[in-house]
Amino acid sequence: MRIIIGGDSTIGRALSYSWKEKGISFQSSTRKPNLVNPQRPLIDLDSKEWKEIKENKFNIGVLCAGITSIDKCEKDPVFSKKVNVEGRKELVNELIEKKTHIIMLSSNQVFDGSKKLVEAQEPTSPISEYGKQNAELEEYILNFPKTTVFRLTKVIHNNLSILKDWKEKLESGQEIFPFKDLTLAPISLKQVMQSIEKIITNKAYGIKQLSAENEISYEQFAYDFCRQIGLDTRLVSPINFKDKFKGSTAPPEHSSLRTSDDIH
């Protein structure tokens, strides 16, 4: 039996769909009491409630749950650390006792963005609170055998909030203002699903990474998006991050990771 911890997340929902299609036996957790049923156990990292984990044995656990907003982590580092580090560490302990293969979803935010295509074994160097919390949990999980840290760059999907916001504005004739000086290394949900299956099938432990090889600016991303949905590229008005957020820390120059050969 497998379990998705954080089944309400985008990757959690995609995994649920994929595993259901393949006839794989799994449960997918929720933290919303109204959604709880025998296939959707309650797991809440804030209240540390996970009865299903205590009472059952899972051979695979994919850890998608947590506060993934960089902004929310910066604004409330105490609460976000309670969830992302303290809550997840305690949950990991429960799973380790049951010899579950834990796959922790992590991010390129564990690096400072000073170089392209960062290798998996390079020391972490986070600058954001979100990145620091992920790096701390990574280090903890990697102390245990048969665990996997799976770092992802920007996952692109139809429900991505920035794309929904851009589409709404463009369709109503409003300008959008993507950053010229902020990059992403976009990957698809399909790529993420395929790599998770390879991690499970190949028992690929340790640090694994999935990234686009080439980085693009959010400016280019916006132009590509406009063309894809057939809307007016003249509504794209690129700006500089450092001009909009004067006095703030400069954005990372790079966002790409070196993809692991055995999961690609």
Q: Is residue 174 part of a domain?
A: no
| Amino acid 158: pLDDT | 87
| Amino acid 248: pLDDT | 66
What would the pLDDT profile of 27-69 be if each residue is shown by its tens digit? Answer: 999 999 999 999 999 999 999 999 988 899 999 999 999 999 9
Which residue ranges of the chain lie beneath pLDDT 50?
A: none
Question: Which residues span the domain enclosing 75?
Answer: 2-158+186-211+257-263
Task: Annotate 193-204 with b (16+ C-beta within 10 A) or e (fewer).
Answer: bebbbebbeeeb
| Amino acid 246: pLDDT | 67
Sheet with strand 206-210: strands edge to edge? 26-28, 2-5, 60-63, 101-107, 147-152, 206-210
| Amino acid 16: pLDDT | 97
Q: Is residue 221 part of a domain?
A: no
| Amino acid 119: pLDDT | 98
Q: Is residue 22 part of a domain?
A: yes
Q: Is residue 52 part of a domain?
A: yes
Spatial distance between the Cα atoms of 252 and 127, rounded to a whole number of angstroms: 9
Q: What is the 3-state secondary structure (H, E, C) of the chain?
A: CEEEECCCCHHHHHHHHHHHHHCCCEEECECCHHHCECCECECECCCCECHHHHHCCCCEEEECCCCCCHHHHHHCHHHHHHHHHHHHHHHHHHHHHCCCEEEEEEEHHHCCCCCCCECCCCCCCCCCHHHHHHHHHHHHHCCCCCEEEEEECCEECCCCHHHHHHHHHHHCCCCECCECCCEECCEEHHHHHHHHHHHHHHCCCEEEEECCCCCEEHHHHHHHHHHHHCCCHHHECCECHHHHCCCCCCCCCCCCECCCHHHC
Q: Is residue 28 part of a domain?
A: yes
Q: Is residue 62 part of a domain?
A: yes
| Amino acid 136: pLDDT | 98
Count of domains forming the chain = 1
Q: Is residue 180 part of a domain?
A: no
Q: Which two tokens stand for residue 76?
A: 């409330």
Token match 């916001």: residue? 165
What would the pLDDT profile of 101-130 be if each residue is shown by its tens digit? Answer: 999 999 999 999 999 999 999 999 999 999
Q: Across the strands, what pairs with 239?
A: 179
Q: Is residue 15 part of a domain?
A: yes
| Amino acid 199: pLDDT | 98
**CATH code, domain with 7:** 3.40.50.720
